[in-house]
Amino acid sequence: MSFVVRLELPDRPGALGAVATALGTFGADILAMDIVDRAGGRVVDDLVVVLPKGRAPDTLITAAESVPDVRVESVRPDPGVADAHREWELVEAIAADPAHAVTRLAELLPDVLRAGWAAVVQVQPDRSVDVLAGGGGVPSFDGVPPGWAPLTRPRKLDTDERWVPESWRMVGTELAAAPLGSAERAVLIGRPGGPALRRSEVGRLAHLAMLTAVISGLVPGLGDWVGPERHGPGHNS
């Protein structure tokens, strides 16, 4: 079975190799690797790792953290995508069919960002929320107040805000959103159980949303779009 291991390690030559060697001692095989974030002499990587039958996922934590200065953020089942080119596949999919670009964005984003779900939502004048497209295990938005709107820039959403449903909080859902051609239309992603959505991941969400808005012919109407909110020095999430 394959797993996605998110780990934080020193940003120096040989660090990832040491982790790979440690994982190999437990019979784990690395299929793919994504750099998620890099700042302050540290790097966050997602490794797609296959474990031999009968090996517990906890052995991945034990192995990786046997390397000095390495910390495992999470181990979760691999959604089945170990292709480093999946983001390009999304771009190709929306470019090939502009009329259904929004639908393809929602369908493929969970794989691209290794999230549990993605939803394109429209806030109506009465403040109800319509789900225009979805991918993964999209939860119900019935009765959910649009606490993210109006959305003028992509950002992580604070799950402690009152609008967030308790059922989302109970499973530790990490949330982020980006405008999609309008301050009242957005693409939301949810990652139940974490790990935290990093600034670089929110940036990828933002660029894919903007690209989809352009390809599908949606009117931006957002004024001076400035990209993801910036955090203070050393804030990586």
**What domains sit in the chain, N to C, each tagged with a CATH number?**
2-77 (3.30.70.260), 86-216 (3.30.450.40)
d(CA 104, CA 212): 9
Q: How does residue 13 score in pLDDT terms, banded at 50, 70 and 90?
A: confident
- pLDDT, residue 2, reads 86
Which has more pLDDT, 237 or 117? 117
Tell me: the pLDDT tens digits for 114-153? 899 999 999 999 999 999 999 999 999 999 999 999 999 9
Q: Report the pLDDT value the prediction gives residue 217, as an integer from 0 to 100.
A: 86
Sheet arrangement for strand 174-182: 129-136, 117-123, 185-191, 174-182, 155-157
> What does the alpha-carbon distance between residue 139 and residue 134 come to, in Å, rounded to a whole number?
9
- The helix (H) or strand (E) run that includes residue 91 is helix 86-96
CB 157 within 8 A of CB 145: no
pLDDT for 179-229, tens place per residue?
999 999 999 999 999 898 988 899 999 999 998 998 888 854 333 333 444
Sign of CA pseudo-dihedral 29, 33, 36, 42 = positive
Cα end-to-end span (Å), the chain = 29
Exposure of 15 in the CB half-sphere (CA atoms within 13 A) = 17
Q: Is the pTM above the cut of 0.75?
A: no
The answer to whether residues 196 and 205 touch, using CB atoms and an 8 Å cutoff, is: no
Percent of the chain with pLDDT over 90: 57
pLDDT reported for residue 32: 81
Residue among 52, 114, 105 at smallest CA distance from 78: 114
**pLDDT-derived band of residue 34, with 50, 70 and 90 as boundaries?**
confident
Q: Write out the E strands in the chain.
A: 2-10, 29-39, 42-50, 71-77, 117-123, 129-136, 155-157, 174-182, 185-191
Q: Tokens 């499973």 sit at which residue?
A: 171
Using alpha carbons only, how large is the chain's radius of gyration in Å? 19
Query: pLDDT digit string (tens) for 78-122?
Result: 866 544 467 888 888 998 999 999 999 999 999 889 899 999 999
